[in-house]
């Protein structure tokens, strides 16, 4: 009789025990995820401090150093020297502005303060606007900027986020393309998506280096063909913003043969184009 009572009591308690076990497993999984998030956030914080200390400091040093020379010795400098210093100041200012802009956009995205507002717009208008913005930088290196996109094609995405993506990809292409090169923005239509590509005749990227490009923790950066500096943050922002719009970013590149960064944009609001 005692065994029968114990049997029925155990049978009655079994669902409760199973439920408690499931709850414990859920809590353990949540704790593991929290630990991973903390490790990622700590890595992000370290990288952010590195960018602020190193990549912001260098452009400011250039600005301060050359403006000081112009201020104190302008009467003793030749016209060519003055032009050279102004050119360095201009480049440092442009790099600094882009870095600050990327830091702001990235920090807003990390803290959830980016407002995602998709809508329909003509992609060629956006591409032309960003090419115009990059024209002065390309002109200094005699790089041809061109586009091969038919007018009237509309896409569904957040226009501001896509502008940031194109701005970074164009600047990146110009940075790693030598003088008299070419950078082209192209687009092809696929079943559910449009694929936009920024193609260049630049230095190219090895397979080993490609693996480091989109990882903030790797701290991978390199200089451009005229020693242009970078933080590596721009491409990470591109990847995050493209994925926020339901697309995906890919890269095809070989050393010495240029690079093509491509991203997909859904044709309609509910579509996802994550397979490259």
Q: Of 8-22, 63-77, 175-189, give the range with the top mean pLDDT.
A: 175-189
Q: Are 105 and 237 in contact (CB under 8 A)?
A: yes
Tell if the pTM clears 0.75, that is, is over it.
Answer: no
Q: Are 119 and 156 in contact (CB under 8 A)?
A: yes
Rounded CA-CA distance 154/35 in Å is 42
* Structural domains in the chain plus CATH codes: 24-107 (1.10.287.130), 119-266 (3.30.565.10)
Among candidate residues 248, 231, 268, 260, the one with its CA nearest the CA of residue 105: 231
Provide the pLDDT for residue 267: 79
Res. 34: pLDDT tops 80: no
Rounded CA-CA distance 88/60 in Å is 12
pLDDT tens per residue across span 114-125: 778 888 999 999
pLDDT tens per residue across span 56-84: 666 677 778 878 888 777 778 788 888 88
Q: How many CB atoms lie within 10 A of CB 275?
A: 8
Helix (H, G, I), strand (E, B) or coil at 32: helix
What is the three-state SS of 155-202?
EEECHHHHHHHHHHHHHHHHHCCCCCCEEEEEEEECCCEEEEEEEECC
Q: Write out the two tokens for 209.
A: 């280096």
Q: Of 56-65, 105-114, 170-179, 210-219, give the range with the top mean pLDDT.
A: 170-179
Q: Of 102-111, 117-126, 204-213, give the range with the top mean pLDDT.
A: 117-126
Q: How many CB atoms lie within 10 A of CB 124?
A: 17
Q: Predicted confidence band at 54 (pLDDT cuts at 50, 70, 90)?
A: low
Beta strands 144-148 and 182-189: pairing type?
parallel
Res. 275: pLDDT tops 60: no
Lowest mean pLDDT among 69-73, 155-159, 236-240: 69-73
Res. 274: pLDDT tops 50: yes
Rounded CA-CA distance 230/18 in Å is 54
Provide the pLDDT for residue 276: 46
Q: Tell me the backbone φ, ψ of residue 204, rounded to 5 degrees.
A: 80, 170
């Amino acid at each position: 009789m005692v065994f029968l009572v114990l049997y029925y009591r155990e049978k009655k308690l079994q669902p409760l025990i199973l439920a408690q076990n499931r709850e414990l497993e859920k809590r353990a999984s949540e704790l593991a995820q929290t630990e991973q998030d903390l490790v990622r956030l700590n890595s992000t914080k370290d990288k952010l401090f590195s960018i602020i200390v190193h990549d912001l400091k260098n452009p400011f040093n250039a600005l301060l150093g050359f403006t000081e020379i112009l201020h104190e010795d302008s009467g003793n400098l030749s016209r060519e020297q003055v032009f050279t210093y102004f050119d360095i100041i201009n480049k440092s200012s442009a790099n600094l502005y882009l870095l600050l802009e990327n830091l702001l956009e990235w920090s807003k995205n990390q803290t959830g303060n980016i407002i995602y507002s998709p809508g329909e717009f003509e992609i060629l208008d956006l591409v032309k606007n960003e090419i115009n913005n990059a024209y002065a930088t390309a002109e200094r290196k005699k790089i041809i900027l061109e586009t091969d996109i038919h007018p009237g094609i509309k896409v569904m995405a957040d226009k501001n986020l896509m502008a940031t993506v194109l701005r970074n990809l164009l600047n990146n292409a110009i940075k790693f393309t030598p003088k008299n090169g070419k950078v082209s923005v192209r687009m092809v239509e696929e079943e559910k998506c449009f694929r936009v590509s920024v193609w260049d005749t630049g230095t190219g990227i090895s397979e080993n280096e490609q693996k480091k490009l989109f990882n903030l923790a790797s701290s991978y950066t390199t200089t451009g063909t005229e020693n242009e500096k970078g933080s590596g943050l721009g491409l990470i922002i591109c990847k995050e913003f493209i994925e926020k719009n339901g697309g995906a970013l890919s890269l095809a590149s070989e050393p010495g043969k240029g690079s093509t960064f491509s991203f997909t944009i859904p044709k309609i609001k509910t579509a996802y184009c994550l397979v490259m």
